[in-house]
Amino acid sequence: MVIQVDSGDGAATDSPGRSTRSPGRARQVLIGTVHSFDAARGWGEVVDSSGRIWPFHCTGIADGTREVQPGAPVAFCAVAGHLGRTEAGCLTKLAR
C-alpha cells in the first residue's frame, strides 16, 4: 500500500534558510511490517507489501521510543540514511 503525503512547509533544512527538499513536494509513505530489530545495536528491517526489505535505525522511529517489536505494522518513508544507503525513516507504529 502506498500513500501520498504533502510535506507542506515542513521541509528539512541542513543550514539556515536552505531546504534539503522542495516545500510542497509529495512524499511516498509505505506500509510494512517490522521483520527484525536488534535493540542493542539499534538496527532493524521492515518488509513492505511488495516484499522489499528496508533497513532502519532506531533514530528513525517517529515517536522517539527507539524500540519496536518484530511483527509490528508500521508506516514509513524512504530516506537517505546511515552508511549512504536508502532506508526506512519516519517509522510510525500502526494499530494491529
pLDDT digits (tens, 9 = 90+) for 18-60: 444 445 556 799 999 999 999 999 999 999 999 999 999 999 9
What is this structure's pTM? 0.71
For residue 96, the model assigns a pLDDT of 80
Domain parsing of the chain, residue ranges: 37-96
Beta carbons within 8 Å of 46's beta carbon, 6+ residues apart: 32, 33, 34, 35, 53, 54, 56, 74, 76, 88, 91
Q: What's domain 37-96's superfamily in CATH?
A: Nucleic acid-binding proteins (2.40.50.140)
Burial environment of residue 43 by CB neighbours within 10 A (0 to 12, 13 to 18, 19 or more): middle
